[in-house]
Structure 1
Amino acid sequence: MSKLKYFFVAGLLRIAGWLSLASAQRIGKLVGLLMWKMPAKPREVTDINLSICLPELSQPARAAMAKESLMNTGMTMLEVPLMWEWPVEKCLDLVQETEGLELIDEAMADGSGLILLAPHLGNWELAGLFFSSRYKMAALYSPPNMPEFEDYMIRVRGRLGSELVRGDRRGLVRLASILREGGVAGILPDQSPRGKGNAFAPFFGMEVKTMTLVSKLMQRTGAKALITYAERLENAQGFRIVVRQTEPGLDNKDAVAATTALNHTIEQCIRSIPGQYQWEYKRMRHRPAGEINPYNPGRVC
């Protein structure tokens, strides 16, 4: 049954890969509208996150933001097959504008490794492809729930030589080695971490579990860090790759100080294009002991 499911999903991805960017985004918008109109989890979680993170918005503005966010999530879902199935050159041609690429050259000028933070903002698959076309790069990943899908995912993401390493102890050792060699490591920094490598730090004012991996890698390897995202341009015109400086203190040995700097760095990028953030992710579900789970008010963390 698992293999049949894989062949079905892989077939759908290949079919979706025949779409143009405009068609994929058009269908994605419709998918997002359905998520927004239906009283289901994506809309519910999006509304909760926006009420916590952007309380300054009026109710109509928050509803409009929820709609925009879910439409962008739908577009991302339909764009992923393009990034995986299209020829690499065709994908890279979608990058119409860039901002801040000189920061990468400056950071790596002395031979230091670089951690590129890529939150769930815009199209992070394109961002990964773009940078792997320019640098010796490794990306941290979690194995998919469908084991048969892992080989496919590694193959399509590694078409330009990018190395995918699992988020386990062995993978982290490899990631540190690449950074010591002056390479680039891509990390999604806004996931709720598992295991012991975490601390509680404010994210839009709410204390949430946050990864300490970035600060530990910086301390162990001397790597620097920047944050990036691929902003979706209007009317299927393509994307703009943006690179920005991180907040000071990301490599602080104090875990709370380091994770606070990490979350604030992510916040600043999200505030620049909040409608393209994946607000339907339960980022606030892991809080300090005794605090209320905002997605299940009857449950205490």
Structure 2
Amino acid sequence: MKKLKSHLLKFVLRASSMLNLKAAQHIGRFFGGAAWKFRSESRRVTDVNLELCLPELDNEKRDLLSHSSLRHTGMTALEIPLMWEWPVQKCLDLIQQCEGVELVEKALSTGNGLILLAPHIGNWELAGLYFSSKYKMASLYSPPNMKEFEDYMIKVRSRVGAELVRGDRRGLMRLMSILKEGGVTGILPDQSPRGKTNAYAPFFGTEVRTMTLVAKLMQKTGANALVTYAERLPSSKGFRIVVKEAHPDLAHPDPVVAATALNKSIESVIRLSPEQYQWEYKRLRHRPKGEPNPYYPDRVCRG
């Protein structure tokens, strides 16, 4: 059954890749808008996150941002087939502007490795493709449940030479090796981490489980870190690659201080393009033990 699902999913992705960018974004925007209008689970989670993370917004502005966010999420979903199936150069040609990319060269000129932190803003698949086309790069990933689909995902993401490594002990050792050699690694830093490499730190004022992996990699390899994302330009005009400095305490030996710095780094770029952030992700679900679960008020968090 999983093999059949994998084949079906790949068929849908390849069929969707026949769209141009404008059509893909139009369809994605429609479905995202429908998810908001009909009060889907995605809208419920988005509204909870916005209320907790951006309390300074009044109800009208929060609703506008919620609606816009789900439309952008719909666009991201329809853009992924393009990023995975289009020729690499056709994808890269969508990049119309770059901001702060000189920070990457500056960081690598030190001879140390570089960790690119890529939160779920805009089109993170295009951001990964852009940097892997320019540098020897490895990216951390979480494998899907379907083995057949994992093979496909690795193939399309590594077609310009990028190396994908699992988030297990072997994969982390590989990341350290690449960073020690002065290479580049990509990490999605705004996921709720599993295992023991985490600490509780504020994310927009709410204490949540946060990865300490970035700090440990920096401490053990001397690597630098920057924050990046591919911002969606209006009217289907393409994308802009944005690179920003990370918080200076990112490699602090205190895991809570380092995790707080990581969240502050993410927050700073989210505030630049809040409508393009993936607010429907339950980022706040893992809080200290006994704290109320923001998505299910009748439950408490287990830590």
Stretches of structure 2 that go unaligned for 5 or more consecutive residues are none
User: 1:3, 1:265 → 2: CA distance?
Assistant: 40
The aligned residue for residue 102 of structure 1 is 102
| Equivalent residue, structure 1, for 2:45 | 45
Give deviations 1:32-63, integer Å, cap 9, x for gaps.
Answer: 01111123210000000000011111101101
- Residues in 1 aligned to 2:39 and 2:269: alpha-carbon distance in whole angstroms: 29
- 1:32 matched to which residue of 2? 32
The Cα of 1:18 is off from its aligned counterpart by 0.5
Structure-1 separation of matches of 2:230 and 2:298? 38
Partner of 1:213: 213
Deviation at 1:178, TM superposition (A): 0.5
Residue by residue, what CA displacement relative to the aligned partner does 1:81-114 show, whole Å, maximum 9, x if unpaired? 0000000000000000000011011111021100
Q: Match for 1:188: what amino acid?
A: L
Residue equivalent to 1:120: 120
Matches within 5 A, 1:36-185: 36-185=36-185
SS at match of 2:189: coil
1:247-295 superposed Cα distances (whole Å, 9 cap, x missing partner) = 1110001000000000001001000010000000000000011110100
Letter in 1 for 2:161: G
Q: CA deviation at 1:147?
A: 1.6
Deviation at 1:222, TM superposition (A): 0.5
What's 2:272 paired with? Answer: 272
- Encode CA deviations 1:17-40: one digit per residue, 9 max, x unaligned: 110000000000011011111232
Aligned to 2:196: 196
1:224-244 CA-partner distances (Å, limit 9, x unpaired): 000000000000000000000
Query: 1:14: how far off?
Result: 0.3
Write the distance in 1 (CA, Å) between the matches of 2:244 and 2:2.
41
CA distance in 1, matches of 2:37, 2:105: 45
**CA distance in structure 2 between the partners assigned to 1:25 and 1:61 by the alignment:** 23
CA distance in 2, matches of 1:178, 1:31: 40
**What amino acid maps onto 2:82 in structure 1?**
L
Unaligned 5+ segments in structure 1 are none
Deviation at 1:219, TM superposition (A): 0.2
Specify the code of the residue in structure 1 equivalent to 2:34.
L
The SS at the match of 1:231 is strand
Residues 1:257 and 2:257 are matched in the alignment:
yes
For 2:166, the aligned partner's letter is: R
**Per-residue CA distance 1:161-196 (angstroms, 9 max, x = gap):** 000000111100001100001100000000000010
Please give the root-mean-square deviation of Cα atoms over the aligned residues, in Å.
Answer: 0.5
Instruction: Tell me the amino acid that sits aligned with residue 152 of structure 1.
Output: Y
TM normalised by structure 2 equals 0.99
Matching residue's letter, 2:66? A
Q: C-alpha deviations, 1:93-137, integer Å up to 9, x for none?
A: 000000001101111102110000000000000000000010000
Q: Whole-Å Cα distance in 2 between the matches of residues 225 and 16 of structure 1?
A: 35
Match of 2:225 in 1: 225
User: Which contiguous aligned blocks of 4+ residues in structure 1 show a shift greater than 3 angstroms?
Assistant: none
State the AA in 2 paired with 1:236: S
> Is residue 2:16 matched to residue 1:16?
yes
Number of residue pairs the alignment of both structures matches:
301
Quote the Cα distance in structure 2 between the aligned partners of 1:8 and 1:108: 42
If the length of structure 1 is used for normalisation, what is the TM-score? 0.99
How many angstroms apart in 2 are the aligned matches of 1:287 and 1:190?
Answer: 14
Distance 1:224 1:62 in 2: 35
C-alpha separation in 1, matches of 2:41 and 2:171: 33
Deviation at residue 148 of structure 1 after TM alignment: 1.0
* Distance (Å, rounded) in 1 between the aligned partners of 2:110 and 2:256: 29
